[in-house]
Amino acid sequence: MPPKSPLPFSVCVYCGARPGRDPAFTEAARATGTMLARRGWRLVYGAGDVGLMGEVARTAQAGGGATFGVIPTHLLSREVGKRDLTTFVVTETMHERKKVMYVNSDAIVVLPGGAGSLDEFFEVLTWRQLGLHAKPVIVLNSGGYWTPLRALLDHIVAEGFAEANVRDFVTFVDDVAGLEAALSAASL
Ligand code: AMP
C-alpha cells in the first residue's frame, strides 16, 4: 500500500473572479469555504481576493482552514493577489497556474463563474476523458446556474461528439450539503 499523504485532502475550487448577479452565489461560495475548513480540507484556488474567489478564501481562512493559492504575475494587481494564504504561489503563466492548482488537488469543484471557470472545468474534464486522471469533478449548480452546462454535455453526447461516459465524469450537486457529501465520498 502506498504511504499515506501527509497533506490534508485538497479541494481545487474554480469560481468567478466576480460575484455574479445573484447574492445566492456569494452565499454558496461562503458556505463552501466554511465547509472546507470545518472538514479540515485544504482549499486550492486561484489566489485572488475578488469575487467568489475571495469569498471562498476568506471564509476558509476564518474557519481556520488551510489555503493554497496560485496566481500568475500579470494578475497580481487585477485579481488582488491574496498573500496571507497558508501557501501563496506566483507563476509566470496561466498554464502554469492551472497545472500547479491541478497537481496539488485531490478533487475539483466548480462554483458559478465565467469563461475562466469554464476554461478550467473543460481542461480537467478533457484530461479525465483522456484517462489522464481520476479526480472527481463536482459542479455546484447553485440556483440552477450550471443547468445550461449540463445540457451542453448532454448535447455533445447526443450529437455523437463524446462518449456517454463523459456525463459520468462530472457530478452535479444542488447545494453545499450535496457538495460536502460528494467530497466526503471522494476523500475516503
Ligand atoms: P472567471 O470565471 O472568468 O471569473 O475566471 C475565474 C478565474 O479563472 C480567474 O482567476 C481567471 O483569471 C482565471 N482564468 C481565466 N482564464 C484562464 C485561463 N485561460 N487559464 C487559467 N485561468 C484562467
Whole-number pLDDT of residue 2: 57
115 C-alpha to center of ligand 1: Å? 7
Grid cell locating 76: 497580481
Say if residue 112 is exposed, middle or buried (CB neighbours under 10 Å; 0-12, 13-18, 19+).
buried
Distance, in Å, from the CA atom of 147 to the CA atom of 163, rounded to the nearest integer, reads 20
Could you tell me how many helices (H) and strands (E) the chain has, helices first? 6, 7
Report the interhelical angle of 23-39 vs 51-62 (nearest 10°): 30
| Torsion angle of C-alpha atoms 123, 125, 127, 129, degrees rounded to 10 | -150
Q: Is the CB of 17 under 6 A from ligand 1?
A: yes
Distance, in Å, from the CA atom of 141 to the CA atom of 173, rounded to the nearest integer, reads 6
Q: Is the CB of 82 under 6 A from ligand 1?
A: no
Sheet (strand 137-140) strand order: 87-91, 67-72, 42-45, 10-14, 107-110, 137-140, 170-173
DSSP letter, residue 8? P
Whole-number pLDDT of residue 188: 87
Is 10-187 in CATH node 3.40.50.450? Answer: yes
117 C-alpha to center of ligand 1: Å? 6
Q: Is the CB of 18 under 6 A from ligand 1?
A: yes
Whole-number pLDDT of residue 168: 95
66 C-alpha to center of ligand 1: Å? 22
51 C-alpha to center of ligand 1: Å? 12
Q: Is the CB of 94 under 6 A from ligand 1?
A: yes
Whole-number pLDDT of residue 5: 56
Tens place of pLDDT per residue across the chain (188 aa): 555 557 899 999 999 999 999 999 999 999 999 999 999 999 999 999 999 999 999 999 999 999 999 999 999 999 999 999 999 999 999 999 999 999 999 999 999 999 999 999 999 999 999 999 999 999 999 999 999 999 999 999 999 999 999 999 999 999 999 999 999 999 98
Whole-number pLDDT of residue 37: 98
Q: How many residues does the chain have?
A: 188
Domain ranges in the chain are: 10-187
Q: Is the CB of 114 under 6 A from ligand 1?
A: yes
Q: Is the CB of 113 under 6 A from ligand 1?
A: yes
64 phi, psi to nearest 5 deg: 85, 15
Q: Is the CB of 16 under 6 A from ligand 1?
A: yes
